[in-house]
A and B are shown apart, each in its own frame.
Chain A
Amino acid sequence: GAVVSQHPSRVICKSGTSVKIECRSLDFQATTMFWYRQFPKQSLMLMATSNEGSKATYEQGVEKDKFLINHASLTLSTLTVTSAHPEDSSFYICSARDGRGGLSGELFFGEGSRLTVL
C-alpha cells in the first residue's frame, strides 16, 4: 500500500520550546491530510483537517495558534506545537487521503510521533 512518512517518531523537548512534526506522502499526492492526537488506550481525536494551499480547519477546542498546521504541497504537511507544555505530551498521528480516489480515497497513516515535554 501507499506510504506516509512521519518524522520524528520520538521527540523530547523542554517546556516553552516549539516542535515541528512532518508528514509526507511518499508515493501519492494527498489532497487532504488529517492530524490526530491519541491519549493512552483511547481512540483518535481529530485536531484539524488540512487541504493543500489553504488554511487548516481546526476542530472545536483545538487552539490554532498553538498547533500550527501548514500544508505547503500535495505531499507535505507539518504540525508545529508552539510553546509546548507538559500537557501537550501525547502521541500525534497524521493521515493522508490518496487523491487518486477523489473524496472517497483511501486513508493512509504515518507511524506517529511521541512528544514528551519536560
Chain B
Amino acid sequence: KQEVTQIPAALSVPEGENLVLNCSFTDSAIYNLQWFRQDPGKGLTSLLLIQSSQREQTSGRLNASLDKSSGRSTLYIAASQPGDSATYLCAVTTSGGSYIPTFGRGTSLIVHP
C-alpha cells in the first residue's frame, strides 16, 4: 500500500526566502505525482503534474522534481510571497489497478511580510 509523507508539517518564513517542500512515497511504481495548494475553506488548486517519465516540471516561481528510485519529490518555491501562504499537498497515483491517488498530510506554509 502506497504511503505518502510530507515534511515539514508546518513552515513559517519571512517573505523573499526560497523554500523546499518535501514529499516521499514508499512504492516507486507510480503513474504520476501532483502538487496542490489548498487555501482555508477552499478546494485544491493543481500546481504541477509530473508524469512518471519526467524528472521535473516548472511553472513560474514553482519547480517540482521527481526521483522515483529514491521515492522523493520536492517542490521548490522561489522568492516566497505572503500570497503563497497555504497548505501544500502532494498526491501520488500508483499503478496496480486502482489508479487512486494517495495524498500526504500536507505542509502548512506561512510567509510573513
Contacts and interface: CB of A to CB of B under 8 A. Distances in A.
Contacts, number: 53
B43 A43 contact: no
Interface residues of B, number: 24
Contact of B44 (A49, A97, A109): A109
Interface string A57-91: 00000000000000000000000000000000001
**Contact-residue bracket for chain A:** 20 to 34
Q: Looking at chain B's contact residues, is the secondary structure mostly helix, strand, loop, or mixed?
A: strand
B89 A43 contact: yes
B41 A114 contact: yes
B43 A93 contact: yes
Contact of B42 (A32, A44, A111): A111
B105 A43 contact: yes
A32 to B, nearest CB: 7
Contacts of A95: 44, 101
Interface string B3-37: 00000000000000000000000000001101010
A54 interface: no
B34 A109 contact: no
Contacts of A34: 100-101
Given A34-B100, A43-B103, A109-B36, A104 B93 contact: yes
B52 interface: yes
Given A43-B89, A104-B31, A109 B43 contact: yes
A49 B100 contact: yes
A101 to B, nearest CB: 8
Given A112-B41, A112-B42, A104 B100 contact: no
B101 A32 contact: no
Interface of A: 1, 4, 6, 32, 34, 42-44, 46, 49, 91, 93, 95, 97, 103-104, 106-112, 114
Given A43-B106, A95-B44, 17 more contacts: A34-B101, A43-B89, A43-B103, A49-B98, A91-B41, A93-B43, A97-B99, A103-B31, A103-B99, A104-B51, A106-B46, A107-B46, A107-B91, A109-B36, A109-B43, A109-B44, A110-B43
